[in-house]
Amino acid sequence: MQKPTLPKGTRDFGPEQMRKRLFIFDTIRQTFQRFAFQPLETPSMENLSTLMGKYGDEGDQLLFKILNSGDFAANLTELDVAQGSKKLTPKISEKGLRYDLTVPFARYVVMNRNALTMPFKRYQMQPVWRADRPQKGRYREFYQCDADVVGTDSLLCEAEIILMIHEVFQNLGIQDFTLKINNRKILAGIAEMIGAPGQEGPLSVAIDKLDKIGKEKVLDELRERGFSEASLVSIDELLALFSLQKLDPDNVLTILEDKLRKSEIGQLGIGELKETLELVQQYGFENARIDIDPTLARGLSYYTGAIFEVKANGVQIGSVSGGGRYDNLTSAFGMPGLSGVGISFGVDRIYDVMDELNLFPPNAGQGTQVLIVPFDAEARTVALPVLRQLRTADITAEMYPDITKVKKMLDYANAKQVPFVILIGSEEVQTGELSVKNMLTGEQHKISADKVVAFIVSACKA
């Protein structure tokens, strides 16, 4: 018999991991809900016609495709096979697994446009699948937690995203994070300033490599991408702009206002950023930590306004959260002009950060709080009502199911890191005084059956 294995790039989440993951999911969900985002779930499968062409050629390749059910090969010809995988695929597969939560959300909005109350605020926490080469921190199945508002271009939405980011990371216990914010209009202003209007895309892709490849190679790349020598004359000034994020937000805005004074779109972007920060302050959130970073350009082809990115400090890992404003979410499905803004939290990376920095609260991974150990069948008659009362008091409690050696039952408690054990033998049955053992300290008390629940409740909450 072959030993069973997992498909590569996938994972089981055992009890301790799951409890910690549930802590993360619950924390994010609570924040989304308090901010009045509404839950949505879409199917794991979408028609390939919904998914294809939305993520670029590479994305199309990384979609997991589902073989048509039934006799899918019935009408295949030799030619279909000879023409190779790409042409064969649509003949044998019409569905794929979702690649992100954004395209299914767009599809949902378009299909339900007449029933939805706009502005529509939704959150969605579901797995996505990508046929990527698995490597450390990159999986073929992973969760995304997205919140989006569509149907309004109010900057209040940007402000609320900044507030939600702070609330989520503070509630998770990740105090040390960097939230970077930018606006595509500022990038457009910079491109205008150097005489390359509309070229903010290639410009930011090249500048993004500065740390890795150095100034000369960045210049080479910009030349290759068609930037004129004239536009590169002031490259040092440009690079100075791009290192502004080290300054505090007010300074950055002052410098940008000066440098981009001739760019209308640039001023627009600066104005949006300013208003967003003002709204955050009016909410009463004084200690928001926001870095304005004019280089930030995640998924630029997609975003049209604000751009967000969050990194956890002290851990070598990519961004743990990101998002921005877009104007074209639903245009691929025939519904243009719907503006929206969203944020996505990466649960798997957040888990890795919290694990590495030891930030999970002690009880986040905890399972059973009390194990009842009956020495014999008679002891069970005393044990069962206690078990019931413990659960009624919302204590996670179990009774060892078999009548066996006490050592074996205590080993079970230790292996599961159960903090309290209630031992019930014939003496306990006679006297009604139960033995409660603290498995951490080894302390043992005799407590009457009618007081044991109150004792455990207060001990578990201590």
The residue written with tokens 């490597």 in the block is 135
129 belongs to the binding site for a copy of itself (CB under 8 A): yes
Task: Give whole-number Cα distances, 228 to 191, 208, 213, in Å.
Answer: 12, 19, 21
138 belongs to the binding site for a copy of itself (CB under 8 A): no
Residues forming a β-bridge with 125: 145
**Which residue lies nearer to a copy of itself by CB, 83 or 251?**
83
161 belongs to the binding site for a copy of itself (CB under 8 A): no
57 belongs to the binding site for a copy of itself (CB under 8 A): no
Query: For residue 122, which of 299, 343, 444 has the smallest C-alpha distance?
Result: 343
**Which residue lies nearer to a copy of itself by CB, 97 or 252?**
97
**Which residue lies nearer to a copy of itself by CB, 50 or 344?**
50
Smallest distance, a copy of itself to C-beta of residue 340, A = 11
Site for a copy of itself in 17-36 (CB under 8 A): 18-19, 21-22, 33-36
Stretch that binds a copy of itself, among 11-19, 243-251, 316-324, 353-361 (CB under 8 A): 11-19
121 belongs to the binding site for a copy of itself (CB under 8 A): yes
H/E element, 308: strand 306-312
Q: How many CB atoms lie within 10 A of CB 460?
A: 18
Prior bond of 362 cis (ω within 30°): no
**Which residue lies nearer to a copy of itself by CB, 89 or 267?**
89
Q: For the chain, how big is the Rg over CA atoms in Å? A: 29
Among residues 100, 225, 271, 283, the one that binds a copy of itself under rule CB under 8 A: 283
CA angle, residues 17, 23, 24, in degrees to nearest 5 = 95
**Tokens linked to 218:** 């960045």
- CB-based contacts of 8: which residues, under 8 Å, 6+ apart? 134, 140
**Which residue lies nearer to a copy of itself by CB, 95 or 437?**
95
363 belongs to the binding site for a copy of itself (CB under 8 A): no
51-61 as b/e: b if 16+ CB within 10 A = bbebbeeebbe
**Which residue lies nearer to a copy of itself by CB, 11 or 451?**
11
Binding site: which residues? 100-102, 130, 144, 148, 298, 302-303
50 belongs to the binding site for a copy of itself (CB under 8 A): yes
- The C-alpha atoms of residue 191 and residue 260 are separated, in whole angstroms, by 10
**Tokens linked to 370:** 């009390």
387 belongs to the binding site for a copy of itself (CB under 8 A): yes
One character per residue 81-110, x = contact with a copy of itself (rule: CB under 8 A): x--xx--xx--xxxx-x---------xx-x
Among residues 147, 399, 410, 449, the one that binds a copy of itself under rule CB under 8 A: 399
Query: For residue 55, which of 297, 296, 299 has the smallest C-alpha distance?
Result: 299
- End-to-end Cα spacing for the chain: 50
Smallest distance, a copy of itself to C-beta of residue 95, A = 5
**Tokens linked to 159:** 């402000």
- The C-alpha atoms of residue 281 and residue 155 are separated, in whole angstroms, by 13
The residue written with tokens 């992100």 in the block is 100
454 belongs to the binding site for a copy of itself (CB under 8 A): no
Among residues 60, 148, 398, 428, the one that binds a copy of itself under rule CB under 8 A: 398
**Which residue lies nearer to a copy of itself by CB, 68 or 243?**
68
Site for a copy of itself in 332-361 (CB under 8 A): 333-334
455 belongs to the binding site for a copy of itself (CB under 8 A): no
Number of residues forming the site for a copy of itself (CB under 8 A): 105
333 within 8 A of 323, measured Cβ to Cβ: no
The residue written with tokens 């003496």 in the block is 427
Task: Give whole-number Cα distances, 120 to 156, 296, 336, 339, in Å.
Answer: 14, 27, 16, 11
135 belongs to the binding site for a copy of itself (CB under 8 A): no
Smallest distance, a copy of itself to C-beta of residue 176, A = 23
Smallest distance, a copy of itself to C-beta of residue 374, A = 10
**Tokens linked to 206:** 């090249």
456 belongs to the binding site for a copy of itself (CB under 8 A): no
Site for a copy of itself in 224-243 (CB under 8 A): none
306 belongs to the binding site for a copy of itself (CB under 8 A): no
User: Going by DSSP bridges, is the β-strand pair 397-399/370-374 parallel, antiparallel, or unpaired?
Assistant: parallel
One character per residue 67-86, x = contact with a copy of itself (rule: CB under 8 A): x-xxxxxx-xxx-xx--xx-
